[in-house]
Amino acid sequence: MRTPLIAGNWKMYKTIGEATALVRDLLAGLGPLADREAIVCPPFTALAAVAPLVAGSQLGLGAQNLYPEAQGAFTGEVSPVMLADVGCRYVIVGHSERRQYFGESDAFVNRKLRTALAHGLRPIVCVGESKPQRDAGQAEPIVTAQVRAALVEVTPEQMADVVIAYEPIWAIGTGDTATPADAQAMHAAIRATLADLYGAEIAATVRIQYGGSVKPDNIDELMAQPDIDGALVGGASLQAASFLRIINYQ
Ligand code: 13P
């Protein structure tokens, strides 16, 4: 009942030429995707060049961030109207790198998520604990509190467009993936939180991705977990061969 979503978060990598070359290689290698969805999230500067290549293809398009206003005097920011205009269907919000390096609060992440929804974009909202938080046994309360804070004033109907990405901070870019069992336990806790907020029926329809050192050699066992509904992939999404293998998880 949940169509798994594999998303490539390219972060601050790829010039326009590199981005279009990667997308061409992905499209050339992608077979029919009957039971899963795949998207790429290039940097803002490459969106307009990538959009016509993926239009009408099996590969969807997302952005990595947005500013929560339709337009205005917000120098350097990009609005949801602009993202929809360039062809984005998805947008990542609240990535731990934005929370950590750019001081994004839970309240600001919530505002971004609601603004994305109001403009017809599907937010992929990231949550995750740090290493000290995990070591202190606080991972679950911290992550479920982030989920609740991100979803303030989000209606049950809107949850059809929301994707949650559990990305433990200590697993991002470190090669240190959560074990499938630990990831599954957190995904189940997130789904229980969604059930508490929206009821079990809606909770069962929301996609929860895992992110943090997802690679060709661990994707299969992660995707075998009952509450893991896709992956948010950083480093391994930057080369066609590795991202195609992840999309084609068994
Ligand atoms: P890595 O796959 O490079 O660990 O990055 C994960 C991530 O932050 C995706 O958003």
Q: Which residues line ligand 1 (CB under 6 A)?
A: 9, 95, 167, 172-173, 211-214, 232-236
Local structure of 225: helix, strand or coil: coil
- Nearest residue to 60 via CA among 107, 7, 110, 100: 7
Catalytic: 95? yes
68 phi/psi in degrees, rounded to 5: -85, 50
Q: Positive or negative, the Cα torsion across 174, 8, 127, 96? A: positive
The residue behind tokens 């120098």 is 75
pLDDT at residue 101, rounded to an integer: 97
What is the enclosing helix (H) or strand (E) of 8?
A: strand 5-9
Cα-to-chain-centroid distance, residue 105: 18
Atom in ligand 1 nearest the alpha carbon of residue 165: 10
CA distance 12 to 114: 25
Domain residue ranges in the chain: 5-238
Q: How far apart are CA 98 and CA 2, in angstroms?
A: 28
Instruction: Indicate whether 1 pLDDT > 90.
Output: no
Choosing from 10, 11, 14, 210 the residue with most ligand 1 atoms within 8 A of its CB, the one to mutate for a pocket test is 11
Catalytic residue from among 95, 104, 119, 187: 95
Q: For residue 223, how far is its CA from the centre of ligand 1 (angstroms)? A: 16
**Of these residues, 97, 140, 167, 187, which one is catalytic?**
167
The whole-angstrom separation of Cα 82 and Cα 11 is 19
Q: Can you give the pLDDT at residue 28?
A: 98
Catalytic: 201? no
pTM, 2 dp: 0.98
Burial of 75 (0-12, 13-18, 19+ CB in 10 A): exposed
Retrieve residue 212's tokens. 């943090």
φ/ψ of 25, rounded to 5, equals: -65, -40
What pLDDT, on a 0 to 100 scale, did the predictor assign at position 232? 98
To the nearest 5 percent, what fractions of the chain are helix, strand and coil? 45, 15, 40
- Percentage of the chain surpassing pLDDT 90? 100
Nearest-CA residue for atom 1 of ligand 1: 234
Atom of ligand 1 nearest to the CA of 213: 4
- Identify the helix (H) or strand (E) that includes residue 37: strand 37-41
pLDDT digits (tens, 9 = 90+) for 5-59: 999 999 999 999 999 999 999 999 999 999 999 999 999 999 999 999 999 999 9
Token pair, residue 31, equals 């077979």
45-72: b or e for each residue (b if 16 or more CB lie within 10 Å)?
Answer: ebbebbbebbeeebbbbbbbbbbbeeee
pLDDT tens, position by position, 82-101: 999 999 999 999 999 999 99
The dotted CATH code for 5-238 is 3.20.20.70
The pLDDT score that the predictor gives to residue 211 is 98
Predicted pLDDT of residue 97: 98
